[in-house]
Structure 1
Amino acid sequence: MTPATSLFTPVEADLRLLADNLKQLVGNRHPILFAAAEHLFGAGGKRIRPAIVLLISRATMLEQDITPRHRRLAEITEMIHTASLVHDDVVDESDVRRGVPTVHSLFGNRIAILAGDFLFAQSSWYLANLDNLEVVKLLSEVIMDLATGEIQQGLNRFDAGISIETYLQKSYYKTASLIANSSKAAGLLSEVSRETVEHLYSYGRHFGIAFQIVDDILDFTSTTDTLGKPVGSDLKSGNLTAPVLFALAEKPSLEVLIDREFAQEGDLEQALALIQDSQGIHKARELAAHHAKLAIEHLAVLPPSESHQALINIAEYTLSRLY
């Protein structure tokens, strides 16, 4: 068992059920879409998002079992996440995701875009069937945020002038919004107090931001085998993340390389060396740790339980991926 999945022990059985249900939810009326979905849901991602939904559901329903609506919310969360990955891979022209070929590299761009659209539509339909208007609004906002984040990232390519605040806002749209709003939705389905619901949202928000910063650091410190994509690929595509933005304040020559979009031979290697030689990665680690700590503090409203502890452990594990 990997460190990530061993954190999910309280919801291990729930996640097995979720994996089976996801393929059934897509249905097999469209053979190519079904094949695409089977490929996606079989790719064995960490399932961190539905695990958080299920852990929050169990941590807020201690006296009774979680409901079918909690389970469906976890499935919808994973469907929305997967749909966004399919579209991201088309935009980023990525051939590999989690070490396996991407949908568009197997089926072509047209099918990949349609498969992503289909999963978004499918998740919206199941969402409406939860019959909870507030939850529908929360998850609908997530779908808008995902598109906003992707557009913002596209507009800010190779823009060395963007601030850390702009980067964090984009990280919220692209990663944290889904975790924050699905965490809040799980609390709403458990009918916890309004105050607790807001703390659950804040847990998801800060956890999501920490998670994204860690991912962005790993783009510089990990290996191609571990990442499932080339090291420095974010930088190469003009996506300037926390380590780069912190390094820019220290290394003015980095801006020259970014401005000319690494057009000359050796530019990218030189940029990577400048980032490694700066405090950029260290400062990004501190920022991730800050958000992980805030996430954990927001869990204090929940009574002690195995699921509560697992939510704390997941936030701590996110940081441990850096070491």
Structure 2
Amino acid sequence: MSYTLLRYLRRTSLISQHIRVESTMTNPTHEEFLFRPPIAQWTKVIKEAEKIVGYPTSFMNLRWLLSDEFANLAMHLRKVVDSNHPIIKTAKTVLYNEHNNLQPWGLIILLLSKAFNPATPSIESTKITEKQRILAELTEMIRTGHYVHRGLLNIPVQDRDKNMDTSLFANKIAILIGDYLLVTANGMLARLKNQDLSYLISTALRDLSEGEFLGERDTQNMPLPGKPRTEHKDNFQICSDSLPLDVSNTLGAPIKEWCLRTMYNGGSLFGRGCQGALLLDNQALELQEKAYHFGCHLCLAWQAASELQKITSEGNESFSLVSAPVLFALNDNPNLYSIIEKAKHNVTEVDFTKFKMDVHNTNAIERTKLLYIEHANKASMYVEMLGNSDVIETIKRLIKTI
């Protein structure tokens, strides 16, 4: 075992020892739920998919975890493990990314790549496969970097004193880790030397940034739902062009608002990653666009399923106020919006236990189930258009193994 690996294991083990006993955070972000699809028998299907790919994708990011730069940041992270800062929960998610709590974006991209690999590999096809693996890695890194950047505490200037030194230091570490991941991902993208792919991923980065300015937010930058409207056209069309997403007449229309938020927070990135895999393989533009639609609908389906589990669980955990069940509940009973208005300063002031009961008293649960079914079926439809093979069948199992 190399010295670098030993050093990494020592440093991360010290961090993880503290993280294991760290209390559950009460500062959920919308992106948090993108990491946790509630899928039964998930491990079995993942292992079958990894056999097709050829290696465990849980080690996909090991290369950047072992770098000297990240090791130095991990050492600084040790100084804040006893705090209640959101970066600790983020680190826990990254270090303990078991298959049952991490949507396998990279694995899906690799499976799509495998579906078009020739039966007899050549030097050229091997080079394409390597590029597709790099694409899967950098897509995961961009998502993680964006997630880390969201784990910041907004501390007003007047409240900054010695008691806040730890939180301010943790903010700096979160910014540095997020920057490191994003810069590394962009460097990997540049080394692929593919202008069209760079353009696709750039549009996804644009969407991630623009999502931060959609709708109102509380003092901790937590998203707040739009005020429900009685008259609206509530549908969302996914377009494969590279234009900015349409935000007109969105807030207050539950389906359109939810779809747009999910596309901003990862759907666009995942779709472009799937599209890029076929682009690197020089597939027809029509197939590339189908891959983009597949990725977007799959992300939407997993998001709906995850939020559905969160709102129907028996625990008293908090949940996102811009999740599909909440938006549907506000649309069904607009009087519930008064609860949101009272907590606009800080969403943690919401009585989530009571609010969950209010959501259950509406048609929100059933409508969210239908939302999941709709996007899961569309994802299956689009992936079937990409061919008929064992790889495609495995992808379809990953879509609907709930």
TM over 0.5, shorter chain: yes
Counterpart for residue 42 of structure 2:
4
Is the Cα–Cα contact under 8 Å of residues 167 and 241 in structure 1 kept in the other structure? yes
Aligned counterpart in structure 2 of residue 160 of structure 1, from 227, 242, 246: 227
CA RMSD of superposed structures (Å): 3.0
State the secondary structure of the residue aligned to 2:152.
helix
Are 1:244 and 2:320 matched, yes or no?
no
State the secondary structure of the residue aligned to 1:233.
coil
Is the Cα–Cα contact under 8 Å of residues 225 and 327 in structure 2 kept in the other structure? no
Aligned pairs for 1:1-323 within 5 A:
3-8=41-46, 9-12=48-51, 13-24=55-66, 27-29=67-69, 31-33=71-73, 41-45=94-98, 46=102, 48-63=104-119, 64=121, 67-90=129-152, 108-152=170-214, 154-155=216-217, 157-161=224-228, 162-164=252-254, 165-222=256-313, 231-235=317-321, 240-261=322-343, 267-317=351-401, 320=402
**TM-score, normalising length: structure 1:** 0.81
Structure 2 vs 1, CA of residues 255 and 197 (structure 1 numbering), >3 Å: closer, same or farther? same
Percent sequence identity is 26
Larger-gyration structure (1/2): 2
Letter of the 1:180 counterpart: G
Structure 1 stretches lacking a partner, 5+ long:
94-103, 225-229
Q: What is the CA–CA distance in structure 2 between the aligned matches of 1:217 and 1:311, rounded to whole Å? A: 22
Letter of the 1:83 counterpart: G
Deviations 1:125-163 (A, max 9, x none): 110111111111111222221122233255452533321
Structure 2 vs 1, CA of residues 191 and 266 (structure 1 numbering), >3 Å: closer, same or farther? closer
Structure 2 stretches lacking a partner, 5+ long:
1-39, 78-89, 156-165, 218-222, 229-251
State the secondary structure of the residue aligned to 1:44.
coil
Structure 2 vs 1, CA of residues 81 and 290 (structure 1 numbering), >3 Å: closer, same or farther? same
Letter of the 1:232 counterpart: S
Is the Cα–Cα contact under 8 Å of residues 10 and 306 in structure 1 kept in the other structure? no
Aligned length: 297
The range that moved more, 184-193 or 161-170, is: 161-170
Structure 2 vs 1, CA of residues 114 and 55 (structure 1 numbering), >3 Å: closer, same or farther? same
State the secondary structure of the residue aligned to 2:369.
helix
State the secondary structure of the residue aligned to 1:131.
coil
The range that moved more, 251-260 or 281-290, is: 251-260
Q: What is the CA–CA distance in structure 1 between the aligned matches of 2:61 and 2:139, rounded to whole Å? A: 12
Q: What is the CA–CA distance in structure 1 between the aligned matches of 2:152 and 2:310, rounded to whole Å? A: 19
The range that moved more, 120-129 or 13-22, is: 13-22
